[in-house]
Amino acid sequence: MNSQELYAQRMSLIDKALALEPVERIPALYMGIALAPKQMGVTMAQYCSDPDLALAVTLDYVDKLETLDGINMHPSAHMTIGLTAIWFSRILTPGKELAEDALWQVQEEEVMKPDEYRVLIEDGYEAFQQLIFPRVIDLDFLAAGQKYLVEHGNGIFRSIEERGYVPLCCGNTTIPFEMLCGARSMQEFFLDLYRRPDEVEAAMDVMVPDLIGLGVGTAQLLGVPRVWLGGWRSASAMVAPKLWDRFVWPYYEKIANGLIEAGVMPVFHWDQDWTRDLARLRELPAKKCALNPDGMTDVRKAKEMLGDHMAIVGDVPSSIFAVGTPEDVREYVRALVSDVGPTGLILCPGCDAPINTKPENMEAFAAACVEFGRGA
């Protein structure tokens, strides 16, 4: 089978899983942004500065694993620019602020002052970006990254497909909560929710059309009708219900529906524990979204509540990849298939397999997906 035929077969399989239809075997995805360069002998500094190299080492590493059907998420340009754009925070970068082979990290600091909610409310999202970006990123680097995205981003995803792999998501968007939390710093932003809730809500409302546009525009540019819709600090375990019901869920609902109306499937990439509020996802149209938890959300509860409503992508925890054994990985996948499969499941590392994944554990993941996913 050539790579085009392989891609078509794998895409068909993933489409069935996303539609909750019976599958001949359970599909499995790679996810390990920093792991591929680590395993292929490329430094994190090289990975962050050279998107062509980042793509090449990722595809080569996935080839080595042999059995995976696709890649959950791959950066469409320079890795750290994408992070800056959705965190509104400075990213400490390998080869710059950090050692050549260190992992990038988000710098937690208050880059936005409380009176600057007014900029969003009165002048809009674009003016707000122009205010914040100079504080968190070199503007020449940002411009170079945007140019790369426009000129080469689509090619990145065609290259993934031409190698026979399905890119599950392209690009990313999130809710206003996450971006403002990054800009204000978590401590200050959480206090804002108690101290100036009306102002925060008004600023969030302004951002919604732009964040829908970000997801839809990226999907159109990159030619993949599925978008990563992220959440990390807005998780149920982090936010009191009365705040979550006001500042988190309504925005997921609006943005997800906006994406769906434009023909784009939101893939809820939810880190942390969201178990308390999983039922809210039933308010979205059935089979038009997917849930991608990271191992902290109760995935069995998710299956129970959402099994007839949306597919689950995940959720082998990062800690097992880092400190577990191949047998631990195998057993996790076995139990996951048994309890959450066979329909509506796409096997994948939760969040991602981290940089310090033991290579034998990633190999065990790929092998376990074949062992337990076949004959579904």
Note the residues at the interface with another protein (CB under 8 A). Answer: 92, 102-103, 105, 107-108, 186-187, 190-191, 193-195, 236-241, 243, 271-272, 296, 317-324, 328, 354-356
CB 199 to another protein: min, Å: 16
Query: How far is CA 45 from each of CA 36, 77, 156, 197, 322, rounded to the nearest angstrom?
Result: 13, 14, 20, 40, 21
Q: Are 184 and 177 in contact (CB under 8 A)?
A: no
Indicate the residue among 82 and 317 with the shorter CB distance to another protein: 317
Indicate the residue among 92 and 121 with the shorter CB distance to another protein: 92
Indicate the residue among 64 and 246 with the shorter CB distance to another protein: 246
Owner of token pair 């959450």: 340
CB 318 to another protein: min, Å: 5
Indicate the residue among 175 and 219 with the shorter CB distance to another protein: 175
CB 174 to another protein: min, Å: 18
Indicate the residue among 215 and 324 with the shorter CB distance to another protein: 324
DSSP codes of every residue in 198-223: HHHHHHHHHHHHHHHHHHHHHHHHHT
Maximum C-alpha span of the chain? 61
CB 176 to another protein: min, Å: 16
CB 52 to another protein: min, Å: 26
Indicate the residue among 30 and 321 with the shorter CB distance to another protein: 321
- What contacts 94, CB < 8 A, 6 or more positions away? 43, 44, 45, 47, 48, 100, 101, 102, 103, 104
CB 23 to another protein: min, Å: 30
Is the N-terminal amide bond of 315 cis, ω within 30° of 0?
A: yes
The 10 Å Cβ neighbour count of residue 223 is: 14
CB 115 to another protein: min, Å: 19
SS3 290: strand
Q: Are 305 and 279 in contact (CB under 8 A)?
A: yes
Indicate the residue among 101 and 363 with the shorter CB distance to another protein: 101
d(CA 18, CA 282): 15
Q: Are 299 and 15 in contact (CB under 8 A)?
A: no
Indicate the residue among 49 and 236 with the shorter CB distance to another protein: 236
CB 265 to another protein: min, Å: 27
295: left (phi over 0), alpha (psi -120 to 50) or beta: left
SS3 169: strand
